Structure 1
Amino acid sequence: MTAFPFAGVNLAITTPFDAQGKIDFARFEHLLEVYIAAGVQGFVLSSGTGMHVYLSKDESKELIAFGAKVIAGRARIIAQASALLVDEVVERTRHARDCGADGVMVLPPFFEGPTDDQGIIDFYTSVAAAGLPVIGYNVPQAVGVEITPALFRQLSQIPNFVSVKDSSGDLAAQASLMRTGLPTMNGADPLVPYALYAGAAGLIWGGANLAPKTCVALVKAASEHRWDDAREIWKALEPVMSLIWQGDYVQSVYAGAEIMGYGAGHPRRPLARLAADKVDALRVALAPLSEEMR
């Protein structure tokens, strides 16, 4: 994992909102400092967990610029640059580059975009020309486009295309991407230890908002091949990582982070705060992680 520039935990950090639904930059700075102190090695700014789709282009760019200034080289920065228009993706990528980001994460064309391999290759070729390492994003259940092993091999020929984050939730499908020998990143929370054992190059992890110290400890144990230790750490993490993956993911991460003392306010509309019974279930699942709060 050490040769890959985005190894370890890359936290898909929540975007804090105030009572009026505006980005709370003071709280965002506080969270970044707390997560850096916890040992987080990289951040995905304007992540899906951070409600990228519900931020305006200007808000996303301001968030990335602010976050990069706070981080100031103390951790890696991946900026999500996904958008419907390729020219906008290129614009966002250039902005991230100018802010000092180390890479961008970009969904393939979605919402009636091209689904043929060549169309996707052309899209990522345009993005990669903007001058930052590009991480593709495989989440076929959400966008209707699958990055297959064959497509991954073709994409890897594009200068600056460095990896694919797989959030399919299908370990067998992720393993098939790994078998290409190309750096594959896991983005499915319940698969973390299995993906690490199978050879994932790095993690983009939204659930790590809830328990960053424990998540960092798990990855450290795995990187040192201390699999018995990793298994014990995972026993505490597994209940909540499986629960949040079952539905209402973003709302669950926001609610769970609040419970654990890493609060970012409530999700922005149209997402509602998590239902009370689900919050109760989260509290139960988080109980084994009580040491995280000390």
Structure 2
Amino acid sequence: MASTSSSSVPFGRVLTAMVTPFAADGGLDLDGAQRLATELVDAGNSGLVVNGTTGEAPTTTDAEKAALVRAVLEAVGDRARIIAGVGGYDTAHTVAQAAAMREIGAHALLAVTPYYNKPPQEGVARHFTAVADATELPVVLYDIPGRTGTPIETETLLRLAEHPRIVAVKDAKGDLGASSRVMAETDLAYYSGEDVLNLPLAAIGSVGCMSVVSHLVSAELVSLYDAYFGGDVAKARDIHRMLLPVYTGVFRTQGVITIKAALRALGRPAGPVRLPQVDLDEAGTATLRTDLAAAGIAI
């Protein structure tokens, strides 16, 4: 079994899958990244995921990824766990990314399922094992078949849970039955990777979330988990329901598009998205403004 106990919370409760701020010319805005990271930790985040999906990792170079992790570590690495995203369709490159993130000082790795080439489950297992063997860092498996085209099947997760450095799962599969079984039979710490399921996943055993909407509602998510794990399920349910318009608004399109639009409107670091993503248009921004207003958020 994995080395963390089923009751452990290895990275805290609420972590933000952080956007990568870009300057108007499309380059990295490292000062903006440091300001945003500081804002998020001040708002209650126990950790940040850098170079993930919301960080537009498929569009950034290895050098940019390294610079971003260094900057965020410098800003908040003494106050929060910094989890570096790694992954792609090439295991050797992913292993090299993992080693680079260790050298920089990342606290953990978020390793996404290889995408595009649809490996069989044996290949998935060997890929994640190679990543976990590459460094001494704890590894979070990122199970998001809607993007990668390949789920981490239940039997594969049970097998990977035996690795001492594979300690957690960011679960964006949307299969509560499958997730229930893995949580019941392993010590893997589950984090919700699908915001609308933050509370439902907690009800079956998850320990927290790696969230997109937390760019806007970190404090509310902290309160949701404090209430739920403190025994006030009704309060947690009420917060969940209050946040439903936020979940709807942010995920009407790709989350990074809407979150960056909201951050720009609030004067916070974000900048544009990189192609093939496109910035939210005026009509989309108006809809987002209406959605967020239903939860009391003005942009």
- TM-score if structure 2 supplies the norm length? 0.90
Q: What's 2:192 paired with?
A: 186
The Cα shift of 1:248 comes to 2.5
| 5+ long unaligned stretches in structure 1 | none
Q: What's 1:110 paired with?
A: 115
Task: Provide the C-alpha distance between the structure 2 equivalents of 1:29 and 1:279, rounded to a whole number of angstroms.
Answer: 26
Q: What's 1:30 paired with?
A: 35
Contact 2:195 2:209 (8 Å CA) reproduced: no
- Higher mean alpha-carbon deviation, 97-106 vs 35-44, is at 97-106
Are residues 268 and 291 of structure 1, via their aligned partners in 2, closer, same or farther at CA, if it must alter by over 3 Å? closer
CA root-mean-square deviation: 2.0
Aligned with 2:51 (options 46, 49, 54): 46
Are residues 15 and 37 of structure 1, via their aligned partners in 2, closer, same or farther at CA, if it must alter by over 3 Å? same
**Partner SS, residue 78 of structure 1:** strand
The Cα shift of 1:190 comes to 1.0
Matched, 1:4 2:9: yes
Aligned with 1:16 (options 16, 21, 40): 21
Deviations 1:75-102 (A, max 9, x none): 0111001133222211211222222222
- Higher mean alpha-carbon deviation, 239-248 vs 256-265, is at 256-265
Aligned with 1:244 (options 250, 254, 273): 250
Contact 1:65 1:96 (8 Å CA) reproduced: no
Aligned with 1:125 (options 93, 117, 129): 129
Q: What's 2:3 paired with?
A: none
Residue identity opposite 1:227 in structure 2: V
Task: Provide the C-alpha distance between the structure 2 equivalents of 1:152 and 1:234, rounded to a whole number of angstroms.
Answer: 28
Matched, 1:60 2:65: yes
Contact 1:6 1:76 (8 Å CA) reproduced: yes
**Partner SS, residue 136 of structure 1:** strand
Residue identity opposite 2:94 in structure 1: V
The Cα shift of 1:260 comes to 4.5
Task: Provide the C-alpha distance between the structure 2 equivalents of 1:87 and 1:150, rounded to a whole number of angstroms.
Answer: 24
Matched, 1:204 2:205: no
The Cα shift of 1:218 comes to 1.7
The Cα shift of 1:167 comes to 0.9
Task: Provide the C-alpha distance between the structure 1 equivalents of 2:65 and 2:116, rounded to a whole number of angstroms.
Answer: 20
- Higher mean alpha-carbon deviation, 75-84 vs 251-260, is at 251-260
Are residues 247 and 176 of structure 1, via their aligned partners in 2, closer, same or farther at CA, if it must alter by over 3 Å? farther
Task: Provide the C-alpha distance between the structure 2 equivalents of 1:167 and 1:104, rounded to a whole number of angstroms.
Answer: 17
Contact 1:79 1:104 (8 Å CA) reproduced: yes
- Higher mean alpha-carbon deviation, 16-25 vs 204-213, is at 204-213
Task: Provide the C-alpha distance between the structure 1 equivalents of 2:106 and 2:51, rounded to a whole number of angstroms.
Answer: 12
Task: Provide the C-alpha distance between the structure 2 equivalents of 1:144 and 1:271, rounded to a whole number of angstroms.
Answer: 19
Task: Provide the C-alpha distance between the structure 1 equivalents of 2:229 and 2:18, rounded to a whole number of angstroms.
Answer: 22
Residue identity opposite 1:148 in structure 2: E
Aligned-pair identity in percent equals 28
Task: Provide the C-alpha distance between the structure 2 equivalents of 1:256 and 1:2, rounded to a whole number of angstroms.
Answer: 35
Residue identity opposite 1:223 in structure 2: F
Residue correspondences, number? 292
Task: Provide the C-alpha distance between the structure 1 equivalents of 2:59 and 2:82, rounded to a whole number of angstroms.
Answer: 20
| 5+ long unaligned stretches in structure 2 | 1-5
Task: Provide the C-alpha distance between the structure 2 equivalents of 1:288 and 1:217, rounded to a whole number of angstroms.
Answer: 19
**Partner SS, residue 179 of structure 1:** helix
